[in-house]
Amino acid sequence: MPKTSPTHDRPRLILASESPRRRDLLKQIGIVPDKIISPHVDETARPQEKPAALAGRLAEAKARAIAASAPGCLVLGADTIVACGRRVLPKSADADDARRSLTLLSGRRHRVFGGVCIIGGDAQARHRLVTTIISFKRLEAGEIEQYIASDEWRGKAGGYAVQGRAAVFVDKIIGSYSNVVGLPLFETAMLLHGLGYSADRHG
């Protein structure tokens, strides 16, 4: 695993995520991780665990899974939880999962909780938890089936991707848009800045 190099004027950054959306979001603000490693973490919610607590716990678990073997590096872990009330909506593994989620969200408000955790060289965890409220319009059965046919829902929490075709379902967003896509950029950038890591001015 890489260590901080004396030729660098900032710490090395590892993104503990296999999500291409998080990688692309970071690149959007001029941050390119030195390495991307997929952590192996059980994402099952604990009994009575609230969605916000789950997002925060999994973000730290992902970061710690990589940080243990990456001394001297900054390790960024993140998790996105879509919840309707206290019900956590899973990443859609099949069309039935996506259909159930979209039917539940139709005409309702729901919340997206984004947990961010950065483990610094001192092995201490720094956290942010961001909440975004989203209102969906009432969806017709045909709209849901057309969206299912697009395959865009695959692997998406809540069965939709707000940055894609599902944008037309959204009546209102209150809070961070990037949080819904996969990573709250303002909060992540502030955490990194506080640890001596700044964006690449050359993008």
Tokens (6 digits) for 194: 């506080």
Q: Give CB contacts under 8 A, 24+ apart, made by 175-179.
A: 175/130, 175/131, 175/132, 175/133, 176/114, 176/130, 176/132, 177/132, 178/25, 179/80, 179/112, 179/114, 179/130, 179/131, 179/132
Of the candidates 79, 94, 97, 122, the residue annotated as catalytic is 79
Nearest-angstrom CA–CA distance, 186 and 165:
25
Whether 79 sits among the annotated catalytic residues: the reply is yes
* Cβ pair 13, 171 in contact under 8 A: no
Three-class secondary structure of residue 80 per DSSP: strand
Residues recognised as catalytic: 79
